[in-house]
Structure 1
Amino acid sequence: MTTAVLITGASSGIGRAAALRLARRPELTVYATARRPGAVAGLAGAGARLLPLDVTGEESMAAAVAAVEAEHGSVGILVNNAGYGEYGTVEEADLDRVRRQFETNVFGLARMTQLVLPGMRAAGRGRIVNIGSMGGRLVFPAGGYYHASKYAVEALTDALRFEAAPFGIGVSLIEPGLIRTGFGDTAARSLAGSGGAAGPYAALNAATDRQMSAAYGSKLLSAPPEAVARVVERAATAARPRTRYVVTPAARALVHTRRLLGGRVFDAYLRTRFRTPRPAAAAV
């Protein structure tokens, strides 16, 4: 019997690339999922099986896991990939939109994990691969709420890795840097809608938008989703997977720079990248 792989958010980007790569392995049966089944229809030709799955809906999540367990006994490998970025300053961001982001990035990941763990424990084996971000190790301005969701994934993964190990379940965290998917466009749209053109953070938001556009457009600073898919394959199939995988040279450099330099020096570095005029003093 093959090992069942369940991938969330497989309609595009990292999830789609991971589904295509893992589906090549004859020992794996890949279940590619998305909220809209039509969004993953093209993956069937690559050998993946398709399931509807909305990580913000309890019935949808439970049904997807039950479908896999009915055929395979348990989910062998869960790839928690679904996620997106809600951008805007801490003051201006719409908290209802932030809550929806956390439902996908954090609580959806957590609930999917809860649903597959009983079957994995009964089988005495399993693998959980969480897609985090270098944004769970450092923070850029106007992205605080997105980074907070990825910091939460870091904490959950560290706790889960220890808790699940006695049951033969391995847990790894993948921390991609800038990946050329639709993520940057989604983040830019949310940033544009978070504050007015004459608002107090307009200059910062504009600088953030310029930085994101330039960075995602740079082949030196960013990478295609296939770069992450290769690492997902290693984390999912290695006999002794790493606890963390940082993806892209630029991400590794930034993570180590932030760790070594500390907060004040990293803030100074950010000021050179996000130059904005000093706000005028408010009238008293």
Structure 2
Amino acid sequence: MKEPEKTMNHNDPILITGCSSGIGEATALRLVRAGHTVYATARKSSTLTALAQAGAITRDLDVTDEESMRAVVDEIVTEHCRIGALVNNAGYGAYGAVEDTPMHAVRKQFDTNVFGMARMIQLALPSMRLAGRGRIVNISSMGGRLTFPFGGYYHASKHAVEAMSDALRFEVKPFGVSVSIVEPGLITTRFGGTAATTLSTSTPDGSPYRAATAALDKSMAKSYENRLMTAGPDAVAKAIEHAVSARRPRTRYVITPAARSLITIRALTPGRAWDRVVHGVFGM
């Protein structure tokens, strides 16, 4: 099998989704400063003013809208003949009990976290294959390797990202394309607030899960305040930079020592013992 190209040319354009804040914004800024040609995208490019001023090319791109995805990919391929790297960062966490969460919210989560990512890959791959090189970086989560209560649908979406990425890696290797998965732990972005908000709003006042979700809200807030368990978005951006530019990019990048510990514990712990660990962590 042909090996992926050992290094990426700085002129090879990098397309990043979900750049309005957090990991996407930090990644775009880091790569621009390293001299890469970066297309930073978000549903509304008006939120990307700082990145445009830093030198990124900013565009509207909604991963749930076929026309906007295709328009940006076609523009890049027309201008540069190929996409050098695709960073699938767009995504969010909607939390709630499996029983309580409305199916329209579940579908919206999968449309963004899974189907949007899949379609971006389908659109970007042809130019990579023709060029004989390319990098695909999919942002998953430690939640793609383990599962916590009241995050069933979010975890399911990230487990899907893991499975799709592992299959894709084998499929595209003969064409010189590498696939990496980035698995952040607790990162100090808007994500934690979004998760808590959706957990509260998706739990009806009369729900039998109301007390448990209230306890989880408090536990999540404390976790995001614990500097020993968290990292800033630039820690993830640094890993993504390695994935798109290193001679031999890794298959997986786990971000934060706490995430590495939890993933290892889950892998080594039998099911019932893991349940006791989760009980202890969340006080449930």
Residue of structure 2 aligned with 1:24, choices 33, 56, 71: 33
Residues of 2 paired with 1:101 and 1:244: CA distance? 23
Residues of 2 paired with 1:265 and 1:206: CA distance? 24
Match of 1:230, SS? helix
Residues of 2 paired with 1:274 and 1:239: CA distance? 41
AA matched with 2:195:
A
Equivalent residue runs for 1:145-156 within 5 Å:
145-156=153-164
The answer for the alignment partner of 2:19 in structure 1 is 10
Is contact 1:204–1:274 with CA below 8 Å preserved after alignment? Answer: no
Residues of 2 paired with 1:99 and 1:251: CA distance? 27
The answer for the alignment partner of 2:263 in structure 1 is 255
Residue 62 (structure 2) pairs with residue 54 (structure 1): yes
AA matched with 1:197:
D
AA matched with 2:24:
G
- Out of 203-212 and 53-62, give the one that drifted further: 203-212
Match of 2:37, SS? strand
Residues of 1 paired with 2:270 and 2:141: CA distance? 19
Residue 92 (structure 2) pairs with residue 87 (structure 1): no
The answer for the alignment partner of 2:213 in structure 1 is 205
Q: What is the deviation of 1:224? A: 0.5
Q: What is the deviation of 1:150? A: 0.1
Match of 1:212, SS? helix
TM-score when normalising by structure 2: 0.95
Q: What is the deviation of 1:24? A: 1.3
Question: C-alpha offsets along residues 204-248 of structure 1, whole Å, 9 cap, x if unaligned?
Answer: 101110111011111111111011000000011111111101000
Residues of 2 paired with 1:32 and 1:117: CA distance? 18
Question: C-alpha offsets along residues 170-223 of structure 1, whole Å, 9 cap, x if unaligned?
Answer: 100000000000001111111001122332111110111011101111111111
Residues of 2 paired with 1:80 and 1:90: CA distance? 26
Is contact 1:177–1:248 with CA below 8 Å preserved after alignment? Answer: yes
Question: C-alpha offsets along residues 39-58 of structure 1, whole Å, 9 cap, x if unaligned?
Answer: 11110111111111000000
AA matched with 1:47:
G
Residues of 2 paired with 1:198 and 1:52: CA distance? 40
Residue segments in structure 2 that go unaligned for 5+ positions in a row:
1-9
Question: C-alpha offsets along residues 21-54 of structure 1, whole Å, 9 cap, x if unaligned?
Answer: 000122x200000000101111011111111100
Residues of 2 paired with 1:226 and 1:219: CA distance? 15
The answer for the alignment partner of 2:82 in structure 1 is 74
Match of 2:90, SS? coil
Q: What is the deviation of 1:270? A: 1.0
The answer for the alignment partner of 2:165 in structure 1 is 157
The answer for the alignment partner of 1:279 in structure 2 is none
Q: What is the deviation of 1:275? A: 2.5
TM-score when normalising by structure 1: 0.95
The answer for the alignment partner of 2:3 in structure 1 is none
% identical equivalent positions: 58
Residues of 1 paired with 2:253 and 2:283: CA distance? 31
Residues of 2 paired with 1:178 and 1:65: CA distance? 31
Residues of 1 paired with 2:182 and 2:224: CA distance? 19
Residues of 2 paired with 1:168 and 1:16: CA distance? 28
Is contact 1:81–1:130 with CA below 8 Å preserved after alignment? Answer: yes
Q: What is the deviation of 1:273? A: 2.2
Q: Across the two proteins, how many residue pairs are aligned to each other?
A: 275
The answer for the alignment partner of 2:222 in structure 1 is 214
Is contact 1:178–1:221 with CA below 8 Å preserved after alignment? Answer: yes
Residues of 2 paired with 1:5 and 1:22: CA distance? 9
Quote the RMSD (CA, aligned, Å).
Answer: 0.9
Structure with bigger RCO (C-alpha 8 Å, 6+ apart): 2
Residue 250 (structure 2) pairs with residue 242 (structure 1): yes
